[in-house]
C-alpha cells in the first residue's frame, strides 16, 4: 500500500460515518425536505468519490479491492457536474444499499 493510501481510506471512512450520523433516525421525507441535510450528504459522497479517484491514481491495486468503486466514482462525478439533476431517491438508495459496504471495505484495507 502506498504511503498516501491510508489517509484516503480514512477520509472515506470518516465521510461515510458522517453520512450515517446525519441521516440516523431520518426518513426519506426528512431528507428531501431539508436542503442542509441533502447538501451535507452530497458533500460527503463527493469526498468519498474523490478519495477513491486519488486511490485510483496512486494505488490501483488497492482500488480493485473496493466493491463498486467505479460506480462510486461515477456517482461523485454526477453529484459535482450534474448538480442540477440530482435524484434524491438515488442518493437515498446509495446510502441504504452501498454506503455500509464501502465503509467495511475501507476499514478492512486499513487493517
Q: Please tell me the distance from the alpha carbon of residue 11 to that of residue 8, in angstroms, as a whole number.
A: 5
**Which of 16, 14, 1 is closest to 102 using CA atoms?**
16
- Give the pLDDT score at 38: 97
- Give the pLDDT score at 18: 98
Residue 44 · residue 18 · CB < 8 Å: yes
- Give the pLDDT score at 67: 93
- Give the pLDDT score at 3: 92
Residue 99 · residue 9 · CB < 8 Å: no
Which residue's entry shows cell 493510501?
5
Per-residue pLDDT of the chain (111 residues; tens, 9 = 90+): 889 999 999 999 999 999 999 999 999 999 999 999 999 999 999 999 999 999 999 999 999 999 999 999 999 999 999 988 899 999 999 999 999 999 999 999 998
Residue 49 · residue 76 · CB < 8 Å: yes
pTM, 2 dp: 0.93
- Give the pLDDT score at 8: 97
| Rounded alpha-carbon distances, angstroms, from residue 11 to 8, 22, 46, 69, 109 | 5, 16, 11, 15, 13
- Give the pLDDT score at 1: 86
Amino acid at each position: 500500500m502506498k504511503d498516501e493510501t491510508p489517509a484516503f481510506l480514512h477520509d472515506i471512512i470518516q465521510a461515510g460515518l458522517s453520512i450515517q450520523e446525519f441521516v440516523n433516525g431520518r426518513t426519506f421525507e426528512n431528507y428531501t425536505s431539508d436542503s442542509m441535510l441533502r447538501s451535507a450528504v452530497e458533500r460527503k459522497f463527493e469526498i468519498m468519490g474523490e478519495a477513491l479517484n486519488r486511490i485510483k491514481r496512486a494505488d490501483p491495486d488497492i482500488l480493485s479491492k473496493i466493491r463498486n468503486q467505479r460506480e462510486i466514482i461515477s456517482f461523485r462525478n454526477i453529484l459535482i457536474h450534474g448538480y442540477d439533476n440530482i435524484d434524491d431517491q438515488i442518493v437515498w438508495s446509495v446510502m441504504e444499499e452501498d454506503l455500509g459496504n464501502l465503509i467495511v471495505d475501507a476499514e478492512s484495507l486499513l487493517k
